[in-house]
Structure 1
Amino acid sequence: MMNSLVSTLRIGSALGFATLLAGCSMGSMFGGSSSSNAGLQNATAAPIAVASAQTNALPVIATECPAIKVRLGGEAMYFYGGGRTGDARALQYQGVIDQATRNCVVSNGQITVNMGVSGRILLGPSGKQTSVNAPIRFAVERDGQAIFSEKYNVPVALTPPAQMSEFVKVVENVKIPYLGGESITIWVGFDPRG
């Protein structure tokens, strides 16, 4: 599951482009002219086939998956040396969040969420670090109340001469009770507070 989310984070735009291309060629995929497909246009499934499909169906996937958002102010973090906050020359490193994603399975009044984030740590003019812990917090809010909140210190190695390194963090199997109609949001962002 983790590999799936990591792949989604890194190649999401490529998949969108591939889908677009596939849609462009759909007409010829079934071959022949539209008259050769005339028998399929008004086809209906027999009631027994529908009943069989319903009993063997998997749980609903992603139909009620809450949105994932980067918390305002949590999209970036900055670390300055010598207490010189805001001085660009004293910047040792900064972190940025590039992308956040999630997937869900809805079953028996519960949403099971896997959520992930990708980002980068970049050294500043005063930076000499070879590793940094990126403090990432995931939280789930339902109708204004936090029902999940966890901070993760994600180790990020900066191998010279590289001035930048990427990171990915995935959190799996977060269970959210769900009745229907609730307002649920997944939040993610840097949380450098202790």
Structure 2
Amino acid sequence: MPMTVVTVAARLAGFAGAAALLAGCSMGPMFGGGAPAADAGLANTNASPAQMAQAQTNALPAIATQCPPIKVRPGGEAIFYYGNGKVGDPTKLNYQAVIDEVTRNCVVSNGLITVNMGAAGHAVLGPAGNQASVTLPLRFAVERDGQAVYSEKFSLPVAFAGAGAQEFTKVVNGVAIPYLGGDEITIWVGFDTRG
């Protein structure tokens, strides 16, 4: 049956209304990348109760279908430990460790993004290495619009148990990040050798 001009106009109006509703639900640049924050923002931190309360008050509907990206912080992808201050001399290398993989998953609800995040890699003894075990300083952080809302450094023990190389894994569960809408959020992981 042929459509009348009125029917076509009504359908177009319906599509336009649906498009307007979807545009109103846009998440903005939440899932884009971001430049690393200054080192000062990397101290251990969590979202404050005030930030949590504000996020819950101003919460958007839970419509996100993706997690924020997880990235290895530039310069934090590997760690090299030399004995007796012989930095750069490969014959004096005690051990090195490298992050091979990172992953995350999220649940978005009531103005909060709850993140589970993890990193895996391997540690290898060098020519001067005779350690039975080492402790790796691994930091996870979450930044919203360039500001740290979560940052925690973990001391990750790795036992060589007679082998020259060992794999390591670290998982952090249940980190709640307030989401106010239109935020640019990035999850970072990397070795942090600062005190």
**Given the alignment of the two structures, is residue 170 of structure 1 paired with residue 171 of structure 2, yes or no?**
yes
Distance 2:191 2:72 in 1: 9
Q: Which residue of 2 aligns with 1:128?
A: 130
Distance 2:124 2:181 in 1: 42
| Contact map agreement 2:62 2:110 (CA 8 A) in 1 | no
| One-letter code aligned to 1:156 | V
Q: How many residues align?
A: 135
- Listed as ranges, the gaps of 5+ residues in structure 1 are 1-58
Q: Residue in 1 aligned with 2:93?
A: 91
Match of 2:185? 184
Please say if residues 137 and 193 of structure 2, whose CA atoms lie closer than 8 Å, have aligned partners that are also in contact: yes
Note the 1:138-177 alignment, pairs <5 A.
138-160=140-162, 162-177=163-178
Tell me, in whole angstroms, the C-alpha distance in 1 between the residues paired with 2:159 and 2:64: 34
Structure 1-normalised TM-score? 0.67
Matches within 5 A, 1:63-142: 63-142=65-144
Q: Percent identity?
A: 65
Q: SS at the partner of 1:89?
A: helix
**Could you list the runs of 4 or more consecutive aligned residues of structure 1 that deviate by over 2 angstroms after TM superposition?**
59-62
Counterpart in 2 of 1:17?
Answer: none
Q: Which segments of 5 or more consecutive residues in structure 2 lack a partner in the other structure? A: 1-60
Q: CA deviation at 1:179?
A: 2.0
Over 3 Å counting, the alpha-carbon distance change for 1:61 and 1:127 in structure 2 is farther
Contact 1:112 1:176 in 2 (8 A): yes
The change in CA–CA distance for 1:65 and 1:121 in structure 2 (over 3 A counts) is same
Q: Evaluate the alpha carbon distance shift between residue 170 and residue 74 of structure 1 in structure 2; reply closer, same or farther with a 3 A threshold.
A: same
Cα offset for 1:62? Answer: 6.6
TM-score when scaled to structure 2?
0.67
* Cα deviations by residue, 1:47-67 (Å, 9 ceiling, x for unpaired): xxxxxxxxxxxx969714110
CA 1:64 to 1:181, structure 2 compared with 1: closer, same or farther past 3 Å?
A: farther
Secondary structure of the structure 1 residue equivalent to 2:84: coil
Deviation (angstroms), 1:159 = 1.2
Structure with the bigger percentage of helix: 1
Contact 2:124 2:166 in 1 (8 A): yes
Indicate if the aligned counterparts of 1:61 and 1:105 stay in contact, CA closer than 8 A.
no
Q: Deviations over 1:122-181 (max 9, x none)?
A: 000000011011110000000010111100001100011x11001100001000001221
Give, as a single letter, the amino acid of the residue that structure 1 aligns with 2:119. V
Q: Tell me: higher relative CO, structure 1 or 2? Use CA pairs within 8 A at least 6 residues apart.
A: 2
User: Residue 122 of structure 2 aligns to which amino acid in structure 1?
Assistant: R
Across the aligned residues of Structure 1 and Structure 2, the Cα RMSD in angstroms comes to 1.5
Q: Give 1:86 shift.
A: 0.4
